[in-house]
Chain A
Amino acid sequence: MSRFTIPTPARAQGVIDAQLADLGRRLQSNPTGLCPVDLTRAFIDVCHSQSCGKCTPCRIGLAQLQTLLTQVLDGEATESTLALLEKTARVIAATADCAIGYEGANMLLRALDACRDDFAAHLQGNCTAQFAAPVPCLSHCPAHVDIPGYIALVRAGRYADAVRLIRKDNPFPSACALICEHPCETHCRRRLLDDAVNIRGLKRMAVDCAGDVPVPASAEATGKTVAVIGGGPSGLSAAYYLALMGHAVTVFEKRKQLGGMLRYGIPSYRLPRETLDAEIASILSAGITAKTGVDVGADVTFADLKRDYDAVYISIGAHTDNKLGIEGEGGSGVISAVEMLRGIGDGELPDFSGKNVVIIGGGNVAMDCTRSSMRLGAKTVTCVYRRRKEDMTALPEEVEGAIAEGCEVLELAAPEKIELDENGNAVALWVQPQMISDIKRGRPAPIKADADHVRLPADIIVVAIGQAIESEHFAENGLDTKWGRILADMNTVIKGRDGVFSGGDCVTGPATAIRAIAAGKAAAGRIDTYLGYHHEIAVDVDIPNPLVEPQPPCGRINLPERPAAERRFDFKLMEYPMTLQQAAQESARCLRCDHFGFGAFKGGREISW
């Protein structure tokens, strides 16, 4: 008998391990709207099957939770059942010997706490859950773009039709093809097989190959006028649809050029200016008047616009910076991300050659500044972040891209003070090392590490810790704001203010382009209704039927980028498109949830809005 055997996994164990990985992906792409009680019962089932069986609370207690949950689901439970459920879970959580038991019980306690209404509804024999995402990509796209539709059109080589279909819900197909954060991909049902379809990559295929696609003709002029304050993605989206509906729209933009954060927040290596300019020109071709360099509040007042126009849409974005509040922040060489990117947006590129640049922050804007700094010739570029790299809110590929380009990411470092020379110029950033610790509000929070301050030499310090909203003028005119945000509902309606609507970053705080676009779309619909119309936005594009074909598991095509050593020196687009061969394979991976599953019944396609 040997004293120790090298463990070799049995085939069965290998399969189970693979199944667990599959299950993990399956759960990550869970459809929304499912019954929380039924899901909790299923989770407790899994927990129970994981029990070793040694201890009472886990071995028997979890089984009793299953039984009680089944009674709830069967409509056979009463308030006392819920009380017993809670008591049992409480005891399991307190007495199970290991995490298999107590964490299982904690899942139930959290569900009971957060979904009390759903549990209560079952006592009356009702389940309020409704399958909410028949077509996961479409449902998770804030603008509800018909994704399976345009993927099928790309597959069929009907690129112009694909663009027309996208424009029904989103007038920024080219910009989104390059910079959208693609929430559509998070719940892609293809993840149940292998991985999400590269939706953004296929959209790029459509816009790259479509050529010039004219916008649809506008409806008959209504004689109604709408002022849009702010010419970013939200304002221009609203303007586009309102123009198509036949209303006379005027966009007031404070900056020199239109585009908002697409121009003044996103560097051209991600979104080339010529692409953006062409997109804006196509939007304006719907018949929109744009007045740039007009500051509402200084050059013209909100009251003027309210008086002169039938409706007003406020979409001023979030264009001012947040301050760190540390010593030396006022020094020369300390700039905000907004300031830096705004200059770049107008083509005023600062020269960072030979400079040590430090960026503070962990979001996508911090990454834009980091990577732009490298392109501006900096000697060293360091991104400093309080938490760990994996806690950054920036997309992982942005962080990896920055590192590949030679930028440094210094994690677990909290800015302490900025050291200035006798002339008030920044020379270094002092940071306090951190240690990651307890999870608070769902995120691991850093605490001060028992370590000395570290000095990072820095000639330029870019503060990228979020943006704020310049809403004072509107607050002075009686609009309610909270932390600078204009208070409007999901439909962009401002309570008690007839004819005034607001959406985008100035309502939500800094978010994504597609959410701003969705707000513009919502505003257009709402304003049209307010003006007494019901114009339908639709497109006459027939969607190819899905083909009957095998769907073997297949890897996802990712978009390659230009070599880091090359792209780090210029602001030209860094991402390559798919090849025709790749697009053919990738588009065929779409499982066509518009046709298969619940989509065949309800919610498969929104023909118009």
Chain B
Amino acid sequence: MAASPDAAAVQNIREVTEMVASRKLYSAGFITDIEADKVPPGLSEDVIRLISAKKEEPEWLLNFRLKAYRRWLTMTEPEWAHVSYEKVDYQSISYYSQPKSMKDGPKTLDEVDPKLLETYRKLGIPLREQEMLAGVQNVAVDVVFDSVSVGTTFKKKLLEAGVIFCPLSEAVKTHPELVKKYLGSVVPFADNFFAALNTAVFTEGSFVYIPKGTRCPMELSTYFRINERNTGQFERTLIIADEGSHVSYLEGCTAPQRDENQLHAAVVELVALDDAEIKYSTVQNWYPGDEDGRGGIYNFVTKRGDCRGPRSKISWTQVETGSAITWKYPSCILRGDDSVGEFYSVALTNHRQQADTGTKMIHIGKRTKSTIVSKGIAAGRGQQSYRGLVRMLESAEGARNHTQCDSLLIGDQCGAHTFPYTEVRNPSATLEHEATTSKISEDQMFYCRARGIGEEEAVSMIVNGFCKDVFKELPMEFAVEAQKLLAVSLEGAVG
């Protein structure tokens, strides 16, 4: 990187300012009809019809939603994850995101919890967040606090390259044939409890289509934020990489600090056709709850990529530092011969956070390869689980997998767990799994401290070293952000 950090920061501020400005424009119309859009908490077929009507959806999409809803009613919430939490009351959630009246929201920076602001200041990215909060007194706030795809900003430039990047609800209108063909083709409508719920009520999300032989000219990014009380967020993202194309997509998330728990049940579907490559990176920083475990987001997410064509590749990279409960297994179905799946993860749980996360690699095609690198860090009273499945079917001739999952424990109240499922049905397949659990060694600490490095700084340094294998997979800007995030999230974990 040639640019100095200062120059990068200036650039960042400029971009963020532009983004905020563009959002203000978008928001003006939104807020006026919002009052009329209000949907009371509760879930029923009528609510789903209403959501569908608001979005002016075609008949087939409504039927898709209703089919999922009817199946969802017969399903039970999964309990196998190594997490404990108070069950969600699905009838107390409002399913059509509706910004709270301005009267109750923070109007000035003084009203915003200083702890929150401090956090954002430390983070760096969250400059955007601060810009948004700083502009609290104008109408933009509602949009900023709501979850809206920033995609529209670059739409025109992307269209020149033939790339379609827009909110899913827009794609339903402009590219119905693509949406109809691929929506629900990777994550079926009744895949699991939360995916079925999402299919019934999804309201937000991005749609990406990269045409044949195209290398997407810029990184695509979506930034999710839950801001509304008593709502759930049901984002739905669909990315299709046509033959020989390439795309890198970034996702970031935050939510305000609240005493209540909120539900985020997203579904992300990736389709990679012949020779296509999708790189999907997430920095997840939903509000994790306070030191005593009050509040925070329930992050119950289904993410799955389908390597449909030969030689296709899907790579997931995630940095999970937020959420009270994380339940997330980005997966790859390696259908095409010689296709490649990758999963790089850093998950951190501090205070009373709980994470049950990992991946699934389903090897179907010949000579398919998968790599899993998972780094779990547990601090405070955090509980951290890696749960992964590697399945090699009879057809997966010569398939290979390597899994490395390491846990780092900071403090004697936390827990780190590993549940690696391996299922092999082909005698020419090779699978390796290794895992270690350790704590920060006294030697490492002593070495750093003896050189005048403060305790927290030393821990942060060692943790960054521990996570290096994953961070190097992130796009540069995100890697810097992720390191800062870890440092902030670990604050108070030592000493």
Q: Do A and B come from one complex?
A: no
Residues of B within 8 A of A (CB): none
